[in-house]
């Protein structure tokens, strides 16, 4: 996730939602994503 762009972060979010549809993304992962990205 080093140097992840907003597009990369969105891809990660989409992947997470597919694999863990009812599980919130851990804060540890959110911290690695750009702060401009909001994960609902």
3: left (phi over 0), alpha (psi -120 to 50) or beta: left
Where are the domains positioned within the chain? 1-40
Query: pLDDT (tens digit, 9 = 90+) per residue, 13-30?
Result: 888 889 988 988 888 777
pTM strictly above 0.85: no
Q: Which two three-digit tokens encode residue 27?
A: 């804060």
Question: In which band, very low, low, confident or very high, does the pLDDT at 33 lie, cut at 50, 70 and 90?
Answer: confident
- C-alpha to C-alpha distance for 12 and 5, rounded to whole angstroms: 11
Place of tokens 């997470």: 16
Tokens 């979010």, located at residue: 13
């Amino acid at each position: 996730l080093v140097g992840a762009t907003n597009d990369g972060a969105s891809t990660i979010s989409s992947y997470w939602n597919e694999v863990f549809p009812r599980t919130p993304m851990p804060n540890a992962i959110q911290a690695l994503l750009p702060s401009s990205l909001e994960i609902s």
